[in-house]
Amino acid sequence: MNFDDTPEEAAFRARARTWLAANAPHELEPELKLSGFAALRLESVDPLAAAKAWQRKKYEAGWAAVGWPKAYGGAEASPIEQVIWKEEEGVFAKLGGPFSIGLGMCGPTVMAWASEAQKRELLPRLASGEDIWCQLFSEPVAGSDLAGIRTRAELRGDQWIVNGQKIWTSGARNADWGLLITRTDPTVAKHRGLTMFFLDMKSPGVEVRPIRQMNEDSAFNEVYFTDVAIPDSQRLGAVGQGWTVALTTLMNERMSIGGGMPTGFPELFGLCAELGLLEDSGVVSRLAQFAVKASGLKYSAFRSISALSRGEQPGPENSIGKLVAGAMMQEIAQYAVDLEGESGLILEAGLAPDGGRFQAMLLRSPATRIEGGSDEVLRNIIAERVLGLPADIRVDKDLPFKDVPTGAARS
């Protein structure tokens, strides 16, 4: 049992460190350190321009999409090298926000299902930050029940005509390409009537509307489709195979190693120290319980990394990260604001305690428990795939999709 790199890993880490020392945008470091909890906030420069510049620089030096094949713009780094790169990139990885969905989910799906020519065309542009991708999955009626989507795609000649609405699409306003799941056959059972496409987000009939979130930010969008034409050549997988293709995307979402998610614990500890509360037994108890969750996540991630280093897949311990970190962030925000007394109510920039850090967490954290698999979905996954408990009874499983009961049909 040790925390040491193998000689190969140490050499890779040294190369990464040397390159970062010479090339990272160190002038942004102070601002990036303060930027956190889901949104990239930069005052001194345009955040998107800074993100694109950093991605391009990494791409040219072979540090973008490090795990991808070289032919598609990557560096063919092993899984453990990818982890090492992420550790070394550190705070600068926050600049990768606009590309994370493309690199983490859309790219791997394209890699698994698109033609060779399409892969060689699209993936290097994604890796270099030239193209931004978004993922058009959730709908107003289909969140956790993703296979219940209703956006229709109908074949006319060699084109598909798409009508419907997506929601909760991160980064849709800046996106060049979208990965779109549609319903192509409502007469068969819901999982069987789906088909996946990718489309140019500038296509006529695509309308992006920002959502004003409860925290006043607008990172999420609604995307409306009115008679949008997509060439059949941009279909991923067979007609009716969309659910299988979607699972590729979702698997990649869940493959990412946990432990990278912030929990707010170091910040809370700092606040308690600053307020002179470390002798208060109530505070001590809460801090200790948060501390063991934070360290538990950290060392669970180390266990996963060790499995990668041995050339194995991480075990199921990797599934607990977001479930624990998401809820913890919300609890910590509430507790920190408690400790701030009435001044905890101040949201105004420049006046709020600790730069308004915990107030921002308070208002953002509810989303963390829902996005990318809600707490409830994650518990089901653990119960079914790790503990082997039976799946819930699904009353809509074998019905033709058009006959599945909905809230609207009941009234």
Partner 1 sequence: MQFDFSEDQKALQAEVRRFFERESPISGVRKLIDDPAASHDAALWARVGEAGYLAAAIPEAFGGAGAGYLELCLVAQEAGRALAPLPAASSIYQAAELLLMAGDEAQRKAWLPRLASGQAIATVALGETVGEATPDSIVARVAGGRLSGVKLPVSDGMAADLAIVAAQGDAGLGLYLVALDGPGVARRPIKAVDPSRKQAEIRFDGASAEPLGAPGRGWALLSAMRDRAAVLVAFEQIGGAQAALEMARDYALGRYAFGRPIGSFQAIKHMLADMYVALELARSNAYYGAWALATDAPQLPLAAASARVAAIQAYKLCSSNNIQAHGGMGFTWEFDCHLHYRRARYLASVIGATPLWERRLVDAYRRAA
Residues that bind partner 1 (CB under 8 A): 1-5, 9, 269, 273, 278, 281, 284-285, 287-289, 291-293, 295-300, 302-303, 305-307, 309-310, 316-317, 320, 323-324, 376, 378-380, 382-384, 386-393
CB of 73 to partner 1, least distance (A): 28
d(C-alpha 54, C-alpha 23), whole Å = 9
CB of 299 to partner 1, least distance (A): 4
Nearer to partner 1, 78 or 163 (CB): 78
Choose between 69 and 90: whose C-beta lies nearer to partner 1: 90
Q: Which C-beta is closer to partner 1: that of 248 or that of 319?
A: 319
User: Residue 342 or residue 392: which is nearer to partner 1 going by CB?
Assistant: 392
Q: How far is the CB of 241 from partner 1 (least distance, A)?
A: 29
Concatenate the DSSP letters of all residues of 47-62 into one string: HHHHHHHHHHHHHHHT
| Cβ within 8 Å of residue 275, ≥6 positions away | 339
Pairwise CA distance, residues 57 & 53, whole Å: 6
Query: Angle at which helices 321-339 and 281-309 pack, to 10 degrees?
Result: 160
CA proximity to 97, closest of 30, 39, 173, 167: 39
Please report how close the Cβ of residue 268 comes to partner 1 at its closest, in angstroms: 11
Q: How far is CA 45 from the centre of its chain?
A: 24
CB of 278 to partner 1, least distance (A): 6
Residue 2 or 411: which CB sits closer to partner 1?
2
**CB 312 → partner 1: shortest distance, Å?**
10
**Cβ nearer to partner 1, comparing 72 with 290:** 290
Neighbours of 365 (CB within 10 A): 24
DSSP notation for 154-171 = EEETTEEEEEEEEEEEET
- Largest Cα–Cα separation, the chain: 74
Separation of alpha carbons 168 and 379, rounded Å: 22
Is 8 or 60 the residue whose CB approaches partner 1 more closely? 8
Tokens of 368: 């963390």
Closest CA to 255 of 311, 300, 304, 324: 304
C-beta of 151 vs 263, nearer to partner 1: 263
| Least distance in angstroms from the C-beta of 375 to partner 1 | 9
Residue with smaller CB distance to partner 1, 295 or 313: 295
Minimal distance, residue 331 CB to partner 1, in Å? 14
In the numeric block, the tokens 């941009």 are attached to 234
What Å distances lie between residue 206 and 97, 172, 184, 219, 409, CA to CA? 23, 10, 18, 18, 28
Angle subtended at Cα 197 by Cα 193 and Cα 202, rounded to the nearest 5 degrees: 135
CB of 1 to partner 1, least distance (A): 5
